């Protein structure tokens, strides 16, 4: 089964994708992570990608496609991919359908994490990543978890694009370019809306109920 985790930036897609990976042995295809890896690897595209991400703009469809196609065509990940952050516009929706069809696969579930703009802005501005265990924490909503974190605080890092100006831009881009993707998927029988304002464990529980059927 292939799953799309859909929702605005900061909806909790990454957190829930990591949970599914652990529980069901899935592969998380996060285009944001793949692009950040490209920046770290200092390839010829690094500078271009980094500039766009830092401005809260989308990276070009071609660059993103090149990154995902290798993963979709990898037999090791066949039918156990969670798409996190892809597709993000209608042209990517169509492209994904084609790539999957060519690889004899399809999308089996589209899980939409529904969260309001106010909530999103608060969540993203407080987001902190532990670079050792990859857990995503929040300095506003989970203060206790931060203090008691198992790896200590020395690996904590904020994403460069998690600043107030870029966050608003990313949300606006979502509403303008990505919301039509939501409207497109809404009529799909495999589309399921989940209240993304629930606690992390409650959302994971709901996702498990859906995937266990």
Which residues contribute to the site for ligand AMP (CB under 6 A)? 9, 31-32, 35, 52-53, 56-59, 64, 85-86, 88, 92, 170
Judged by beta carbon, residue 21 or residue 143, the one nearer ligand AMP is: 21
Q: Which is nearer to ligand AMP, 94 or 143 (CB)?
A: 94
* Cβ proximity to ligand AMP, 87 vs 207, nearer residue: 87
Query: C-beta of 32: minimal distance to ligand AMP in Å?
Result: 2
Q: How far is the CB of 162 from ligand AMP (least distance, A)?
A: 9
Q: Least distance to ligand AMP from the beta carbon of 115, Å?
A: 14
Distances (CA, A) of 55 to 48, 159, 161, 162, 179: 11, 13, 8, 11, 20
Q: Which is nearer to ligand AMP, 28 or 31 (CB)?
A: 31
- If one counts every other C-beta atom within 10 angstroms of the C-beta of residue 70, the result is 10
CA neighbor of 179 nearest in space, from 50, 38, 7, 22: 7
Q: Which residue number, 57 or 101, has a Cβ lying nearer to ligand AMP?
A: 57
E-only strand ranges, 39-163: 81-84, 109-114, 127-130, 136-138, 156-157
Closest residue to ligand AMP using C-beta atoms? 32
Is the bond preceding 87 in cis, omega lying within 30 degrees of 0? yes
Three-state secondary structure call for residue 110: strand
- Least distance to ligand AMP from the beta carbon of 46, Å? 13
């Amino acid at each position: 089964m292939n799953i799309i985790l859909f929702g605005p930036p900061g909806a909790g897609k990454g957190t829930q994708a990591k949970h599914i990976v652990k529980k069901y042995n899935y592969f998380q295809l996060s285009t944001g992570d793949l692009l950040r890896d490209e920046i770290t690897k200092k390839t010829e595209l690094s500078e271009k990608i980094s500039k766009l991400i830092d401005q809260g703009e989308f990276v070009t469809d071609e660059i993103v496609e090149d990154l995902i196609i290798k993963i979709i065509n990898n037999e090791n990940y066949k039918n156990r991919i969670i798409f996190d952050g892809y597709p993000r516009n209608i042209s990517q929706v169509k492209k994904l359908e084609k790539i999957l069809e060519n690889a004899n696969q399809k999308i089996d579930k589209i899980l939409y994490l529904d969260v309001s703009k106010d909530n999103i802005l608060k969540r993203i501005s407080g987001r902190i990543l532990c670079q050792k265990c990859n857990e995503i924490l929040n300095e506003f909503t989970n203060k206790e978890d931060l203090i008691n974190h198992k790896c200590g605080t020395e690996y904590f890092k904020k994403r460069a694009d998690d600043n107030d100006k870029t966050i608003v831009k990313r949300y606006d881009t979502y509403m303008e370019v990505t919301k039509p993707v939501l409207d497109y998927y809404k009529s799909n029988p495999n589309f399921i809306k989940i209240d993304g304002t629930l606690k992390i464990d409650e959302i994971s529980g709901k996702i498990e109920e859906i995937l266990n059927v």
